[in-house]
Chains A and B, each alone.
Chain A
Amino acid sequence: MRLFIDFLLGSAKQMLKGNRSYWGWVAFLLACIAVGLVGYASQAGSGLIVTSMRDQVSWAFYIGNFTFLVGVAAAAVVLVIPAYIYQWKPIKEIVIIGELLAVSAITMCLLLVMTDVGRPERAWHMAPWPIGRWNAPSSLLAWDALVLNLYFLLNFAIVTHLLFRAFTKRDYSHRFATPLILFSIPAAVSIHTVTAFLYNGLSARPYWNSAILAPRFLASAFCSGPAIILVVLQVLRRYANLEIKNEAIWKIAELMAYAMFLNLFLFGAEIFREYYSATEHLVFTQYVFTGVHGHDTLVPYAWASLFCSVAAFIIFLVPKTRRNFVTLNFGAFLIYCGVYIEKGIALVIPGFTPSTLGEIYEYFPSRTEVMVTIGVYGAGFLMFTLMLKVAIPIINGSFHLDSRRAAEAGIVQDAATSH
């Protein structure tokens, strides 16, 4: 226990140490949070009237960003699977970064849900009996709240354990960590599946009521999550003395090419069904890609998203462009944009437009919604940055328990004796 307090104090010190660019980045994130707080203050003061949502479009920008970020969180498994199951060495050291990203992304998800609900102070009503009245199994939102919180705790526990053990220079406990790590794989799939089912199960919303919605969610998540990690890894390699092999980055890029193929294939399957059968439900897809009765707010975004995804797929498919870091980063950026639109507004808004009774209300996020979302991203990335600030020195061995303290505590700092 004393050691763990040492770990926490040492971590806090690590967070406060940094060069100019570190503090610049932290200041930028704090500024984002300030913007978010200003936005949220106006929302808390006047109610959700300051958003552009209405009863016909009852979920929008917040929930779109939430959906995108659940995908990012789920994508940590892309790294976990080869690292632990196949013992693929070059990725293994960087899995921690993926899991930290998952923890941060889930935090952003929960913040976005809390900003979206009208009565955040009543969130405890969702807790199981006898505290609240958790309406499971029937409500998918109740399930989603459960799995998201579980996934958060799970990844947080794994990462804390791995880092604390590395801090005390011991190997991680296989009896404790391995089952949790293995469990985190289906858990990651489940958070995104449940989030897809959240939309999927509504008979009133034909745009979402498609059996391949959950597979599409997973496919796009396996593109967007790693896209962020690819960039983060290069930043860390450059500025944080973390040794990351090129082949690890290329391997992730290759996995993303497969994921993007699957994503585009499933998208094509959906488009075929919609346009060939051309039932009255086609109107939602038309609203996204061509506009309906002159209402075409989303059209440029939808085409930009498709263009980004296809271009990124080609970049990641061709080995030459995949291994060139300029094109690789450009591809990661394209994927990020493509999936952000596809799993954000282009998923949520057409579900409501036109409404079930045929009313068309064109939605575009209000300034407050954008400000609050910027604040949430700021908070998430600040959390990610601070955790990385602790994790990186532990991974590369420059931040650890000093040997005198270790001897006092009777810890044998030898990997071989811990299991």
Chain B
Amino acid sequence: MTESAKPAPRWGMVVDLDRCTGCQACTTACQIENNVAPSSAETADKGRSIRWMDQLPYMEGEYPNVKMRLLPRPCMHCDHPPCIKVCPVGATTKGADGIVAQIYSRCIGCRYCTTACPYTVRYFNWYEPTWPDDLAQTLNPDVFVRPRGIVEKCTLCHHRLQNAKDKAAAERRDLAPGEYSPACADICPTQAIAFGDLDDPHGEVFSQSRSPRVFRLLEDLGTEPKVFYLREGE
């Protein structure tokens, strides 16, 4: 690798709620990309569906001036993640690139991380994942299928980063900006999700994450989430 001198990038995301139409393409793209099993009507009814990139419904204002909104919500990949320190077996780690990862084969399924996470983005496998009919043959070979009884979460499509890095290394060059982005950002039809290195002053997310419209979820908890939201303009 030739990136030794440069500091590791801090991958982050900016979601522009002014552009977001709530179409949920990001949720679907994420499910397909990351081998998240589709949930049945029954499991969905019981609230056990797994959606790494979920749409958080919320209401603004009081009747009759009410607005219903959907807030796309992936893992925040916090700089100070509360989930890591609580794990009794060290199954959750944060890499140099700031991505919070889950080691599926080490997780014992105690759900302490689910309890500690303020964003409810850690999903427990309450049942064995299954795919209807031939859909099992469409699984992404780059992504591990998680068994029952463990916790899983958004990886920021870490396998895409790995592939991009491998490609760059094979061509003996640095990873170029825009070469790596997660499935949710790629699919968004209104380009509401910007993705990149939060520390790269030439990148889009650098300036957007410093916009006056910016806010983050539950910032007062000191978790330093790396997913930023741009509130709708007046």
**A interface residues, Cβ below 8 angstroms from B:** 46-49, 53-56, 58-59, 113, 116-120, 122-123, 125-126, 132-135, 138-142, 145, 198, 201-205, 351-352, 355-359, 361
Some 27 contacts from A to B, beta carbons below 8 A apart, are A46-B127, A48-B127, A48-B149, A49-B43, A49-B48, A58-B114, A58-B115, A58-B124, A116-B111, A118-B107, A118-B108, A118-B111, A118-B125, A118-B151, A119-B149, A122-B89, A122-B109, A133-B89, A133-B106, A134-B89, A138-B84, A139-B88, A140-B86, A141-B87, A203-B118, A204-B117, A358-B58
Q: How many residues of B contact A (CB 8 A)?
A: 46
Interface pick from B134-142, B157-165, B171-179, B215-223: B215-223
Q: A47-B148, A58-B124 are known contacts. Are A357 and B217 too (CB-CB below 8 A)? A: yes
Q: Tell me whether chain A's interface is mostly helix, strand or loop, or mixed.
A: loop
**Contact at B120–A55, with CB atoms within 8 Å?**
yes
- Known contacts A118-B124, A139-B88, A359-B120: A126-B108 contact under CB 8 Å: yes
Question: How far in angstroms is the closest Cβ of chain B from A93?
Answer: 39
B144 at the interface (CB under 8 A from A): no
Residue numbers in A under 8 Å from B87 (CB-CB): 135, 139, 141
Residues in B whose Cβ lies below 8 Å from that of A361: 47
User: Cα distance A55–B221 when bound, in Å?
Assistant: 20
Name the residue in A141, A142, A198 with the highest tally of chain B Cβ atoms < 10 Å from its Cβ.
A141
| Chain B contact surface mostly | loop
- Tell me whether A126 and B89 are in contact in the complex, defined as CB-CB below 8 angstroms, given that A55-B123, A203-B221 are known contacts: yes
Residues of A within 8 A of B148 (CB): 47, 118
Establish whether residues A125 and B89, one from each chain, have CB atoms under 8 Å apart when the complex forms: yes
Q: Does the CB pair A202–B82 fall under 8 Å?
A: yes
Residue of B46, B88, B115 near A145 (CB, 8 A) is B88
Q: How many A-B residue contacts, CB cutoff 8 Å?
A: 137
Instruction: Given A118-B150, A126-B108, A357-B217, answer yes or no on A47-B89 (Cβ-Cβ < 8 Å).
Output: no
User: Besides the contacts A49-B43, A202-B115, what 13 more A-B pairs have beta carbons closer than 8 Å?
Assistant: A47-B125, A49-B48, A54-B47, A55-B124, A58-B115, A58-B124, A118-B111, A133-B89, A133-B90, A134-B89, A138-B85, A139-B86, A355-B120
Decide if A56 touches B109 in the complex (CB within 8 Å): no
Given A56-B47, A202-B115, A203-B222, are A119 and B120 neighbors across the interface (CB < 8 Å)? no
Q: Which residues of B contact A120 (CB under 8 A)?
A: 108
B32 at the interface (CB under 8 A from A): no
Q: Which of B84, B110, B218 has the most CB of A within 10 A?
A: B110
Cα–Cα distance between A142 and B110 once the two chains are bound (Å): 11
Residue of A nearest to B117 (CB): A204
Note all chain A residues with C-beta closer than 8 A to B149.
47-48, 117-119
CB closest chain-B residue, reference A359: B120
Once A119-B150, A125-B106, A135-B89 are accepted as A-B contacts, the answer to whether A205 and B115 lie under 8 Å apart by CB is yes
**Is B116 in contact with chain A by the CB < 8 A criterion?**
yes
Residues of A within 8 A of B109 (CB): 48, 117-119, 122
Among residues of A, the one whose C-beta sits closest to the C-beta of B118 is A204
CB–CB B127/A356 < 8 A: no
Which 8 A-B residue pairings sit nearest by Cβ, starting from the closest?
A118-B109, A118-B149, A204-B118, A58-B114, A142-B88, A141-B88, A125-B89, A49-B127
How near does chain A come to B206, taking the closest CB pair, in angstroms? 27
Tell which of A46, A116, A203, A356 touches B119, judged by Cβ atoms closer than 8 Å: A356
A201–B82 CA distance with the chains assembled, in angstroms: 10
Within 8 A of A (CB), among B89-125: 89-91, 106-112, 114-120, 122-125
- Enumerate chain A residues within 8 angstroms of B48, measured Cβ to Cβ: 49, 54-55
B126 at interface, CB cutoff 8 A: yes
